[in-house]
């Protein structure tokens, strides 16, 4: 007997620490939701890999976890939600906001008839013997915030959704039913089993301090302790122990593609094409994440596939079979149990591809990432270890110079002018900022705070600030290159948002470009400490006027949504190739114009769809602006521009309350969304669907792209009542 899954995805879970001596750790697991159970597996959804299961009838609460304290989450997934059952709480971490919303919605729908649904719950983590939300020290203490299963929607059962079974099961294989363990207790896998976590080094790490452990690319290491998100304590094959940067290693599991030379996780379609053209070899290829969840793309370069004899780049989606065990294929006649086996086969056989996969283009082009500080718990840098070189520029903080740390690491050194910052406050904040580490953030290595002037030591970005880079290359950028720049910044901002960090001064001047032409966000959070008239209103609040939304003008209210407004202006800067926004207006004139509804014009290089995104960022109401997670998805979709098979996940039309119509190019990927009454859906001006009247202003719409065309269709699933 088999049970069809409602949802299936690889997520992270935190150990539940049912015993006081249980370790706190995070594990990657394949989660499967059926009509009766939430089950998780190690590697693949088969009985022998099962690690835990929760009967849905025992669940009392499912909700997102608010990370209001800015707790650093020591795993790559930063979007937590909680499943409360019996006397336990399972914390699960999704890769993005869309994934988390989907899991929470689906779980809530399945538990809505449970008798023991909580009246109150804890909205924040249980950590180190305390509930962070209410500071209660009893793990079984009653909740501190009212819990309403569907927000302002009643707990009355939802009516069945037409075609629900087909839509939910779409693309997911059946899961074997474990008849003999229907009453199995859940989650005893990580409670001190003694299982060692083995990782593989992706880069060399020399070890910069005596307590560090040297890493050799390809070497295997045992993790002894995850000190924080950025540094682990590890042991090598010789028994030597020390600290290693977490972003230099990857878990050694059969399903982890990061360990392979041909896989590039953070490469989008445009970047892949640039790398392949630069390599200019027949059969050069990259395996990369697709812009669609849990799918991968093979990008292949060939000189023999086009009619005119010129080189072309083909993008193939790695497909999966529907049965158990799941198999992978590029050509239907050739099935494999794993993606590495598939790649190895096609390195020797074209088998339906434009060429053999001959030359992997991946990590050999990838330099080692920056580390969060030069070593674990090292944020104060001795100024005698710095060598000052040429001046790079100056800003509101002071002079910036190229430098060397210990004569071997290039760094940027900012000398803070006396009186330019609230220094003591900033130094405290810098300790937190150092723990923020992401490929699209300029890494803060440390500070020299024991003398005047204070020095801030950061990652060196060879191409300088984004606005100058745009101006110097004006006229030479392709649409794809400009869009990639915007996506880089958006990914950095999505990470800051996930860690409850507000930038407050997002603009092209505060983004930097490295030699690989990756754009990174810089100077996040520093605007609060600047003493500069350009950042000061008449009320004394500090903000860059031409990048700020009305709520900052009027109430000095900063949030992630004020950063979203600034991001829209940054997009405008990118697509004008470095022009100054509102260049003919003074700051006080800009305040009047923006408050009265005036917005920046559409740049010539921006398509209407891209300008639509800018306008969404400039919505007068902060709550109606998209999140950075949503923006990343929209930009990725435009950049990818692939025609996927009909087995792809459904697309979601996301519309602000009060809107009466929208174009399908604003689709998202979650299967559910609330839209207003009598809503009209258009595609290239043609009406595709008009909703029926419903009791509440809520209607669920999914949009699909067909297998062989680029046309999109709307499908009404159901109304919520």
Catalytic residues: 505
Residue pair 466/485 in contact by the 8 Å Cβ criterion: yes
Would you say 410 is a known binding-site residue?
no
DSSP structural state of residue 186 = -
Q: How many CB atoms lie within 10 A of CB 294?
A: 15
Residue pair 569/547 in contact by the 8 Å Cβ criterion: yes
Pairing outcome for strands 464-465 and 511-513: antiparallel
CA 301 to chain centre: 28
Question: Is residue 638 within a helix (H) or strand (E), and if so which, with residue range?
Answer: helix 628-640
**Residues contacting residue 316 through CB under 8 Å, at least 6 positions apart:** 297, 298, 299, 300, 330, 353
Alpha-carbon dihedral sign for residues 643, 646, 648, 649: positive
Question: What is the four-CA torsion angle of 639, 559, 653, 76, rounded to 10 degrees?
Answer: 60
Residue pair 714/664 in contact by the 8 Å Cβ criterion: yes
605 φ, ψ (degrees, to nearest 5): -85, -10
Q: In angstroms, rounded to a whole number, what is the distance separating the alpha carbons of residues 530 and 458?
A: 18
Minimal CA–CA distance to 495: which of 1, 77, 136, 193?
77
Question: What is the four-CA torsion angle of 423, 424, 425, 429, rounded to 10 degrees?
Answer: 90
Residue pair 53/38 in contact by the 8 Å Cβ criterion: yes
Q: In angstroms, rounded to a whole number, what is the distance separating the alpha carbons of residues 651 and 630?
A: 13
Which two three-digit tokens encode residue 519?
């754009």
Minimal CA–CA distance to 267: which of 369, 370, 366?
366
Residue pair 613/634 in contact by the 8 Å Cβ criterion: yes
Which two three-digit tokens encode residue 521?
């966000």
- 103: buried, middle or exposed (CB in 10 Å: 19+, 13-18, 0-12)? buried
Residue pair 161/718 in contact by the 8 Å Cβ criterion: yes
245 φ, ψ (degrees, to nearest 5): -75, 130
Q: In angstroms, rounded to a whole number, what is the distance separating the alpha carbons of residues 23 and 157?
A: 39
Alpha-carbon dihedral sign for residues 361, 364, 370, 372: positive
Distances (CA, A) of 578 to 466, 547, 573, 581: 8, 14, 5, 9
How many residues comprise the chain? 721
- Vertex 155: Cα angle to 150 and 159 (nearest 5): 95
Residue pair 558/549 in contact by the 8 Å Cβ criterion: no
Residue pair 519/513 in contact by the 8 Å Cβ criterion: yes
Q: In angstroms, rounded to a whole number, what is the distance separating the alpha carbons of residues 235 and 286?
A: 32
Residue pair 545/581 in contact by the 8 Å Cβ criterion: no
Residues belonging to the binding site for ATP are: 414
Residues belonging to the binding site are: 414
């Amino acid at each position: 007997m088999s049970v069809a899954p409602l949802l299936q995805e690889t997520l992270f879970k935190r150990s539940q620490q049912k015993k006081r001596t249980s370790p706190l750790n995070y594990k990657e697991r394949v989660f499967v939701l059926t009509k009766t159970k939430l089950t998780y597996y190690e590697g693949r959804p088969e009985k022998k890999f099962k690690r835990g299961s929760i009967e849905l009838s025992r669940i009392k609460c499912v909700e997102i976890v608010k990370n209001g304290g800015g707790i650093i989450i020591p795993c790559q997934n930063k979007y937590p939600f909680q499943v409360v059952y019996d006397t336990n709480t399972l914390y699960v971490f999704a890769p993005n906001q869309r994934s988390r919303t989907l899991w929470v919605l689906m779980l809530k729908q399945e538990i809505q008839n449970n008798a023991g649904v909580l009246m109150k719950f804890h909205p924040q983590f249980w950590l180190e013997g305390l509930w962070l939300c209410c500071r209660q020290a009893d793990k079984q203490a009653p909740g501190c915030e009212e819990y309403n299963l569907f927000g302002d929607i009643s707990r009355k059962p939802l009516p069945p959704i037409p075609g629900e079974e087909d839509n939910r099961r779409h693309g997911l294989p059946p899961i074997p039913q474990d008849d003999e363990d229907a009453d199995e207790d859940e989650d005893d896998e990580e409670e001190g089993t003694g299982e060692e976590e083995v990782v593989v080094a992706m880069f060399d790490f020399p070890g910069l301090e005596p307590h560090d452990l040297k890493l050799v690319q390809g070497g295997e290491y045992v993790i002894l302790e995850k000190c924080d998100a950025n540094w682990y304590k590890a042991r090598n094959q010789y028994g030597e122990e020390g600290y290693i940067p977490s972003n230099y290693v990857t878990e050694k599991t059969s399903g982890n593609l990061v360990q392979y030379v041909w896989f590039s996780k953070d490469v989008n379609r445009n970047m892949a094409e640039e790398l392949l053209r630069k390599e200019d070899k027949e059969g050069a290829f990259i395996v990369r994440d697709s812009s669609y969840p849990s799918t991968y793309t093979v990008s292949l370069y060939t000189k023999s596939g086009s009619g005119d004899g010129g080189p072309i780049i083909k993008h193939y989606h790695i497909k999966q079979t529907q049965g158990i065990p799941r198999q992978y294929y590029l050509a239907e006649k050739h099935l494999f149990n794993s993606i590495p086996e598939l790649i190895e086969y096609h390195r020797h056989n074209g088998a339906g591809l434009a060429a053999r996969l001959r030359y992997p283009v991946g990590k050999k082009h990838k330099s080692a990432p920056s580390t969060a500080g030069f070593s674990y718990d090292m944020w104060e840098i001795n100024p005698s270890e710095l060598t000052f070189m040429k001046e790079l520029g100056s800003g509101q903080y002071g002079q910036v110079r190229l430098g060397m740390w210990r004569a071997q690491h290039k760094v940027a050194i900012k000398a803070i002018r006396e009186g330019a910052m609230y220094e003591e406050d900033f130094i405290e904040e810098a300790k937190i900022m150092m723990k923020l580490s992401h490929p699209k953030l300029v890494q803060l290595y440390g500070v020299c705070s024991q003398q005047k002037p204070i020095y801030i030591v950061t990652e060196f970005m060879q191409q300088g600030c984004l606005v100058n880079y745009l101006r110097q290359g004006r006229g030479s950028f392709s649409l794809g290159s400009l869009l990639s720049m915007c996506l880089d910044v958006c990914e950095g901002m999505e990470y800051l948002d996930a860690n409850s960090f507000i930038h407050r001064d997002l603009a092209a001047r505060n983004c930097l470009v490295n030699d690989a032409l990756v754009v990174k966000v810089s100077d996040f959070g520093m605007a609060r400490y600047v003493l500069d008239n350009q950042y000061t209103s008449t009320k004394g609040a500090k903000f860059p006027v031409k990048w700020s939304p009305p709520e900052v003008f009027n109430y000095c209210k900063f949030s992630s949504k004020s950063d979203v407004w600034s991001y829209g202006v940054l997009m405008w800067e990118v697509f004008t190739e470095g022009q100054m926004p509102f260049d003919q207006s003074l700051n006080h004139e800009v305040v009047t114009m923006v408050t009265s509804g005036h917005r920046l014009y559409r740049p010539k290089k921006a398509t209407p769809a891209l300008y639509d995104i800018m306008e969404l960022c400039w919505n007068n109401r902060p709550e109606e602006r998209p999140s950075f997670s949503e923006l990343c998805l929209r930009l990725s979709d435009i950049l990818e521009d692939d025609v996927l098979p009909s087995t792809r996940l459904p697309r979601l039309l996301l519309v602000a309350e009060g809107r009466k119509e929208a174009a399908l190019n604003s689709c998202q990927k979650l299967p559910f969304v609330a839209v207003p009454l009598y809503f009209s859906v258009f595609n290239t001006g043609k009406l595709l669907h008009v909703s029926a009247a419903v009791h509440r202003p809520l209607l669920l719409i999914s949009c699909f792209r067909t297998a062989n065309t680029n046309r999109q269709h709307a499908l009404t699933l159901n109304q919520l009542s």
